[in-house]
Amino acid sequence: MITLVRPTLKEIARRSGVSIATVSRVLNDTDNVREQVKEKVWRVAKELGYRPPRSFRKRVGKSKVIALMITDIANPFFPEIVHGVEDAVFEHGFSVSLWNTREDPQREEHYLRTLHKENVKGIIFGASRIKEEYIKSTFEKGIPCVTINRIVEGIPHVVADYEEGAYLATRYLLYLGHDRIALINGPANAQTSKWREKGFRKAFTEQNKEIDERLLSFNPPLIEGGYVTALRLLKKEMQPSAIFAYNDLVALGAMKAIKESGLSLPRDISLIGYDNIFLCAFLDPPLTTVEQPKYLMGRLAADMLFRMIERGSVAKKSVRLKPQLIIRGSCGVRG
């Protein structure tokens, strides 16, 4: 019979190239160790067959809480995701712990350090701009993780096809005769912004149309970002005849700027948003937008997480959902 020997701190330290004290701090999850060092130590510890103390495993094993980290609960996009997660979690007899990062990197890092010490069974990351190394480090510590609208290598995820959604929106505007289309995109470092830009460019290439690069910009994904950027675009000598916004909040800001500039939707300019939050159908005019299955995304992410918890892994690590263009009154044929 082969007896498995738990690796010593000294052996983990030797292979990691750090001190024994550092290994101890990492394995006890203290705050004063750099994330890169933590990631390396945990990787070596797992390779050597390290397992947390029985008391720790017993404590985590009894947990009935799932953590959900989101970007901004004030954005109407997120509550439907939360509802989807809550329903799936409730059906498993668990509860949800909600962590709202408010797009603040320091808050995200602090929350994640705290979650490493909390008695949670798994984490769903709905905050799209949290650092990739933090997510990987959490996963490598043995905490089941799933990301929403974010692809991190090795981590199971549920994503919407943003490239396809942007392609559908841009193709529709081109079909209406618009060729000067502004893209008020989101943050430059966000995967979702890059996917939107790719779909936007794909539609132009397909129609053999040229893009005026001056009409493309990266912005905060908020009403204020859409408002300020739209005002700037509308002051240009050659203003756009249509705007495609990163999300519906950005579109709301753009709509306000358009009206303040004395222009009319859709007679003078067309506008498309993204997400199809509940407000879109009640605007004047109702907003054309790209539907995301928000509730389904949350529910599928939770279901995937529970499969990981129950089986230790999932056979299908990637779920990609198709978008749908919802046509309303904010777009018209170019005059």
Q: Is the residue at 131 inside a domain?
A: no
The stretch 38-47 carries a mean pLDDT of 83
> What pLDDT shows up at residue 30?
59
User: Rounded to an integer, what distance in angstroms lies between the CA atom of residue 212 and that of residue 10?
Assistant: 60
User: How far is it, in rounded angstroms, from Cα 294 to Cα 285?
Assistant: 23
Give residue for tokens 């979702």: 192
What are the beta bridge partners of residue 147? Answer: 125, 157
pLDDT for position 217:
97
In a domain, 297, yes or no: no
- Residue 79 within any structural domain of the chain: no
Beta carbons of 7 and 48 less than 8 angstroms apart: yes
Look at 90-99, 165-174, 311-320 and tell me which has the smallest mean pLDDT.
311-320
**pLDDT band for position 148 (50/70/90)?**
very high
User: What percentage of the chain exceeds 70 in pLDDT?
Assistant: 92
Closest CA to 113 of 306, 147, 123: 123
Asked if residue 203 belongs to a domain, the reply is yes
Judge whether 69 lies within some domain.
no
Residue 190 has pLDDT above 60, yes or no: yes
Per-residue pLDDT tens digits for 106-140: 888 888 888 877 778 999 998 767 788 888 888 88
Residue 326 lies in a domain: no
Residue numbers of the domain that contains 16: 1-47
User: Residue 55: its pLDDT value, please?
Assistant: 47
Question: Has residue 304 been placed in a domain?
Answer: no
E strand or H helix that includes residue 309:
helix 294-311
Mean of pLDDT values over 178-199: 95
The whole-angstrom separation of Cα 153 and Cα 197 is 22
**Lowest mean pLDDT, pick from 20-34, 76-90, 234-248:** 20-34
Alpha-carbon distances of 53 from 6, 27, 28, 57, rounded to whole Å: 10, 10, 10, 6
Give the least confident one: 15-29, 119-133, 165-179.
15-29
Copy the structure tokens of residue 82.
């939360």
Q: Does 53 map to a domain?
A: no
* Domains in the chain, number: 2
Question: Tokens representing 23?
Answer: 């290994």
CATH number for 4: 1.10.260
CATH code for position 238 = 3.40.50.2300
pLDDT in tens, 251-290: 999 999 999 999 999 999 999 999 999 999 999 999 999 9
Can you give the pLDDT at residue 18? 87
Q: Answer with the one of 291, 313, 330 that is the final residue of a domain.
A: 291
Say how far apart CA 316 and CA 88 lie, in whole Å: 18
- Residue 255 has a pLDDT of 98
